[in-house]
Chain A
Amino acid sequence: MTPQTDALLRTRVLHALDDVTDPEIPVLTIADLGILRDVRVHNGVVDVTITPTYSGCPAMNMIALDIETALARAGIENFHVKTTLSPAWTTAWLSEVGRQKLLAYGIAPPQEGSGRGSLFGTVEVACPQCGSTDTSRLAEFGSTSCKALWRCNTCREPFDYFRCH
């Protein structure tokens, strides 16, 4: 194996991983979500590194399995999928494309500059349906670990908010 063939293989791997999505938010690829940390190829051996959004994220095993399936389907055989915790995933890892996809899917994306400051301050969340910022939080913990349940006071629709982290 030469560095050139390794580079080519890496391109094939990245292409194959474009089809791997978060099982709970199927519009987001693992790259959009920012949980695909690293793809390294050395002497024909592929190392894919992913990171969990939450410690107990039940989707991690399934995502690892989906990656293995996608690579095998692309005819890539020699690979390892590893998990890393550091640097910890935060919503800052979510790509701009990812944020747009979330909004189009009806999930309010996390607020910019999210972190501890905004966690305990007041956040303004726009309704993904009508755009109104007159919204209120119904529940801190929503349908998955990464979402909270909100309601729009203008169009009265409930919606998911991707929690800042």
Chain B
Amino acid sequence: MVTNTISVSETPQVLYALRRADDALILGHRLSECCGHAPTLEEDMALANIGLDLIGQARALYTLAALREPSLEDGRANTEDTYAYLRDVGQYRNLLLCELPNGDFGRIIMRQFLYSAFIDPYWRAMMKSSDAQLAAIAEKAEKETAYHLRYTSEWVIRLGDGTPESHARMQAALDFLWSYTGEMFDTDEAEAMLQAEGVIIDASVIHDDWRATVQTILDRATLTLPQSAWMQKGGRSGRHSEHLGFLLAEMQQLPRSEPGAVW
């Protein structure tokens, strides 16, 4: 039984699957923290359900990463569980946006909206991947993310165009989160290689679509797009905010202290 931090052989395909899986797992985990704490029962159910969809997508992507990773020197192979529970902060490849602490309901909704407006068209475009398994995951995921986008869009409008208090909170959430959105469209050498092979699409082609959706909803919500063009980055290469370590400590505590524990 593996109890210590694993090593991962990050071929471009493995790295890509881990990045997408980590986004979904970490954001799904953040949403799971809302369970029992949302403003109303209906929103509690909604956030938990979105979290469940994301964690389901993460499982499929981790399983794919495990399938594609060359086996380790000792013949051991990683699994969805070892990726999730036995990697440290620096090995996580998720967007910084996904790991940010929840804050108030407005910020939870705004974070989910900004991400869903990107990932929904992204998965739809990925259905054309030359990798049949990735295309299948995308085909499944885009049906779920369509609901996430609709749900969060409705709330952004309702709260943005709501009371002075809710409007101010939504504007503050947008201002806070804005600099974390640029990382979604970044690409690097490893991904460029996969793009050339038709395995993945270039995320930057989604940018205009994303921007248009965001602009449409923010206009209806009477919210103002921040002017700053400076963007945070680092998550994709393992340079994270201080927040991820605390999240992992909670998520990984049980499997690390009780190796092999099962329900």
Contact = CB atoms under 8 A, between A and B. Distances in A.
Contact of B147 (A84, A85, A163): A163
A90 interface: yes
Given A88-B136, A119-B146, A145-B52, A55 B46 contact: no
Counting chain B residues whose Cβ lies within 8 A of the other chain, the interface size class is: 20 to 34
Contact of B135 (A86, A90, A139, A141): A86
Interface string A92-128: 0000000000000000000000001001100000000
A138 B42 contact: yes
Contacts of A143: 45
B49 interface: yes
Nearest to B137: A85
B42 A55 contact: no
A54 B150 contact: no
B54 to A, nearest CB: 7
B151 A140 contact: yes
Given A56-B53, A56-B56, A86-B136, A165 B42 contact: no
Contacts of A88: 136, 139-140, 143
B218 interface: no
A8 B50 CA distance: 43
Contact of B53 (A54, A90, A149): A54
A142 interface: yes
B59 interface: yes
Given A86-B139, A140-B147, A54 B56 contact: yes
A85 B56 contact: no
Contacts of B140: 52, 55, 85-86, 88-89
Nearest to A143: B45
Nearest to B51: A56
A138 B54 CA distance: 23
A57 interface: yes
B55 interface: yes
Contacts of A149: 42
Interface string B120-160: 00000000000011011101110110110011001000000
B60 interface: yes
Contacts of B137: 85
A20 to B, nearest CB: 21
Nearest to A149: B42
Nearest to A56: B56
A3 interface: no
Nearest to A58: B52
A52 B137 CA distance: 11
Contacts of B60: 55, 85
A54 B144 CA distance: 7
Contacts of A138: 42
Contacts of B94: none
Interface string B95-134: 0000000000000000000000000000000000000110
A69 B144 CA distance: 30
B171 interface: no
Interface of A: 52, 54-58, 84-90, 116, 119-120, 138-143, 145, 149, 163, 165
Given A55-B53, A56-B59, 7 more contacts: A56-B56, A85-B137, A85-B139, A85-B140, A86-B135, A86-B139, A141-B45
Interface of B: 42, 45-46, 48-50, 52-57, 59-60, 132-133, 135-137, 139-141, 143-144, 146-147, 150-151, 154
Cβ-closest 6 pairs across A and B: A56-B56, A55-B56, A86-B136, A56-B52, A139-B42, A141-B46
13 contacts: A55-B57, A55-B59, A56-B56, A58-B52, A85-B133, A85-B136, A88-B139, A88-B143, A139-B42, A141-B42, A141-B151, A142-B45, A145-B49
